[in-house]
């Protein structure tokens, strides 16, 4: 355990580096996941780039000089194989970032049982599996960060996101509670909670009129881009955040403190598409 002297001035830029460390990025294929893989790689980490789409996994791995892996993170056997492969190919796992998540946008009254089970899987099941299967791998390597992507929908009541928001709230709680459980093993579990971000998925769902309304509502005057989420994840992944445990860091341009929410007009055809 590192016990720095209170008067010691560290090399802050060195604390930001990840040289010699290996990370798994789950959901690395596009958007926040791709930018996260790029950010970690630029800081010196070697990345196992995981996505359900093999083509996307290969493309990102090529971009960052990492290794591709195809996996459905909601399936225990596939998550177990993923961590085993990471240990075999990379020698150890020093950190994990799980970016998987998607909302099925419809009123709660319109949710079928299948909708509910699907929403549970893509918000919560993969977090449970990543923690349960992955934490022992990190502990074996001496500990490290595990970072998840939540949502401001877990803190706000967003139209057509009752089920998604409830599960994101549960995800935030799981991060905090698991952080307490695993901290003695030197595993730092945290999350970011993005607001409106111009990801490929949301760009498909929302038209430019929506984005203009969003930009007017957010105090800083615009929605985020995926790189800004990756920057927050990079901080949590580095030793700059070595005393940050069990936190859900909101990255939303001030949306959740503004006291108002943009009016949304969702592309319902895109909203009902299967996950990608």
- Distance from the first to the final alpha carbon of the chain: 41
Q: Which position among 12, 117, 164, 182 bears the catalytic label?
A: 164
Would residue 164 show up in a list of annotated catalytic residues for this protein?
A: yes
- From residue 275, how far is each of 103, 118, 124, 193, 272 by CA, in Å? 9, 10, 15, 20, 9
- In angstroms, the CA 187 to CA 26 distance is 18
- In angstroms, the CA 23 to CA 142 distance is 14
- From residue 65, how far is each of 4, 40, 175, 203, 253 by CA, in Å? 34, 11, 30, 28, 32
- In angstroms, the CA 42 to CA 79 distance is 26
Question: CA nearest 201: which of 99, 270, 249?
Answer: 270
Helix (H) or strand (E) holding 129: helix 126-140
| Residue 93 near residue 135 (C-beta atoms within 8 A) | no
As annotated, the active-site residues are 164
């Amino acid at each position: 355990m590192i016990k720095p002297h209170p008067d010691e001035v560290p090399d802050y830029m060195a604390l930001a580096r990840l040289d010699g460390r290996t990370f798994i990025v789950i959901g690395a294929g596009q958007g926040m996941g791709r930018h996260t893989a790029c950010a970690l790689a630029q800081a010196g980490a070697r990345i196992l780039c995981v996505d359900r789409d093999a083509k996307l996994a290969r493309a990102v791995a090529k971009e960052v000089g990492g290794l591709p892996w195809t996996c459905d993170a909601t399936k225990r056997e596939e998550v177990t194989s993923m961590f085993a492969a990471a240990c075999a190919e990379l020698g150890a796992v020093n950190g994990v970032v799980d970016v998987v998540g998607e909302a099925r946008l419809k009123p709660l009254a319109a949710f079928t049982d299948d909708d509910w089970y699907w929403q549970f899987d893509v918000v919560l099941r993969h977090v449970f599996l990543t923690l349960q299967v992955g934490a022992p791998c990190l502990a074996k390597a001496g500990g490290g960060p595990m970072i998840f992507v939540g949502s401001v929908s877990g803190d706000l009541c967003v139209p057509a996101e009752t089920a998604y928001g409830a599960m994101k709230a549960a995800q935030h709680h799981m991060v905090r509670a698991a952080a307490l459980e695993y901290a003695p093993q030197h595993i730092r579990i945290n999350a970011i909670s993005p607001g409106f971000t111009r990801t490929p998925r949301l760009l498909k769902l929302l038209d430019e009129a929506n984005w203009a309304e969003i930009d007017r509502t957010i105090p800083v005057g615009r929605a985020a881009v995926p790189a800004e989420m990756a920057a927050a994840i990079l901080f949590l992944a580095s030793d700059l955040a070595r005393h940050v445990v069990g936190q859900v860091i909101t990255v939303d341009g001030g949306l959740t403190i503004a006291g108002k929410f943009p009016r949304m007009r969702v592309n319902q055809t895109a909203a009902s598409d299967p996950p990608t």
